[in-house]
Amino acid sequence: MTTSGRTDDRGALLKPIRPVAAHELVLEQIKSAVMLGRYQPGESLPPERELAKFLNVSRTTVREAVAVLVAEELLEVKRGRGGGLFVRPAATPSISRQNLSEQRAVLRAVFDFRIAVESSCAELAALRRTTADIRRLRRLHHEMTELTASNALEPTAAGTARFLALDSDFHTAIATAARSPQLEEAMAQGRLNMFRPVGQIFTRLEDNADHLHKDVIDAIEAKDGELARVLMRRHIEGTRATVEAWLRP
């Protein structure tokens, strides 16, 4: 109790601190880059020496992180000429019935978070965007449209992976146009949280993969913040519906 007689609940804001090993932080950064499509299946990562220098850690720390990612079958090490560290092709996951409900609950919260954050990003982008922002969004959308068309004729894992990477870049570009570093960081975290539980189920492009992207760009270019917010919400709701359909028993 406090001296005023009220229960002191300030301790609820304090949580136990878990010491984090350096290699876990490296592991998280590499895993995030792969999940967000910065490195495609079959693509090589920078050499161990360069990773250590860029992340400002020792090569031993990088080696420990890589060992975990190889064990998780996210990365593979190829020896000899032309060898190195490569992203493994996505494997088809086995989603058990037992954890379906748990995954749905996690994803429900994740999509609620994405809608709140990315709708705000779209609204602010409409108010703060530059001509360069619009050019970047149009360029990304053009490539996404071409990929969607070619993948409809001849679906490939590489095409799907490339589309997902472009989609991440598209949403990042909107967050960047919002000129809010905190929202941009939250947007990246929201997408990452979406991919973590069921990321590997994104093995094909649905008919609605490119739905509303162009409309969102048009609203941002027209500086219609309210419309941009509504369209972004609809777009993410569409993704939510697709993912939930995939997770049905």
Look at residue 17 in the predicted model and tell me its pLDDT.
77
Domain end among 31, 56, 87: 87
Average pLDDT (107-116) is 94
Answer for the pair 8, 1: CB distance below 8 angstroms, yes or no: yes
Q: How many domains does the chain have?
A: 2
43 and 120 part of one domain: no
pLDDT digits (tens, 9 = 90+) for 149-180: 887 778 887 888 889 889 999 999 999 999 99
Tokens representing residue 131 in the block: 């001509």
Instruction: Give the ranges where the chain is alpha helix by DSSP (H).
Output: 22-35, 48-55, 59-71, 100-128, 131-153, 157-177, 181-198, 213-221, 225-246
- Gap between the Cα atoms of 212 and 238, Å rounded: 10
55 and 107 part of one domain: no
114 and 64 part of one domain: no
Answer for the pair 221, 144: CB distance below 8 angstroms, yes or no: no
- Its domain, for residue 55, covers 18-87
The single residue listed with the structure tokens 């379906």 is: 100
Question: Looking at residue 44, which CATH number applies to its domain?
Answer: 1.10.10.10
83 and 104 part of one domain: no
113 and 225 part of one domain: yes
- Gap between the Cα atoms of 73 and 93, Å rounded: 12
Look at residue 92 in the predicted model and tell me its pLDDT.
43
Q: How many CB atoms lie within 10 A of CB 246?
A: 14
59 and 115 part of one domain: no
pLDDT band at 10 (very low <50, low <70, confident <90, very high): low
| Amino acid letter, residue 214 | K
Task: Report CA-CA distances (Å) from 182 to 102, 117, 124, 126, 216.
Answer: 29, 10, 13, 17, 21
Q: Is residue 4 part of a domain?
A: no
Average pLDDT (124-137) is 98
DSSP state of 82: T
Domain end among 40, 59, 87: 87
Nearest CA to 21 out of 51, 65, 75 is that of: 65
Q: Phi/psi at 44 (nearest 5 deg)?
A: -90, 145
Q: Phi/psi at 16 (nearest 5 deg)?
A: -60, 140
140 and 33 part of one domain: no
pLDDT digits (tens, 9 = 90+) for 131-154: 999 999 999 999 999 999 887 778
Tokens representing residue 165 in the block: 């990477």
Q: Is residue 78 part of a domain?
A: yes
- Gap between the Cα atoms of 192 and 198, Å rounded: 11
Answer for the pair 27, 69: CB distance below 8 angstroms, yes or no: yes
Look at residue 75 in the predicted model and tell me its pLDDT.
92
Question: Looking at residue 207, which CATH number applies to its domain?
Answer: 1.20.120.530
Average pLDDT (204-208) is 77
| Chain centroid to CA 46 | 21
